[in-house]
Amino acid sequence: MEIKKELNGTTLTVQIIGRLDASNAQELTNSLNASLDGVKELIFDFASLKYIASAGLRALLMAQKRMNKQGSMIIRHVDETVMEVLEMTGFADLMTIEK
């Protein structure tokens, strides 16, 4: 997995490339924890995310809980495979997803 971040004012865009699973979900959580101070809008760009496991879902949930307190979170460009996981787990109902 590769994480690319771009801060534009109070909007942080995070692009995740590859697979988000148990081997790297903590890396994403650590990266977000170090970057979210002062952020009002968190945008995840999943255009290059090919797979998400339960550990990755946990990282998303932690980010969503934090952003509920300080702003908003949007997930964009979700491919069919990842969207299926988000729908099956109920995450699609908890999060704002733009296709």
**By the 8 A CB rule, do 55 and 87 touch?**
no
Q: What is the pTM of this model?
A: 0.95
State CA 70 to chain mean position distance. 16
Q: Which of 85, 87, 93 is nearest to 64 (CA)?
A: 93
Instruction: Say whether pLDDT at 65 is over 90.
Output: yes
Mean pLDDT of the chain: 96
Q: CA-CA distance, 79 to 31, in Å (whole number)? A: 23
Tens of pLDDT, residues 15-51: 999 999 999 999 999 999 999 999 999 999 999 999 9
**For residue 71, is pLDDT > 80?**
yes
- Across 63-70, average pLDDT: 96
Q: Is the pLDDT of residue 99 over 90?
A: no
Summarize the confidence of residues 76-82 as an average pLDDT.
Answer: 96
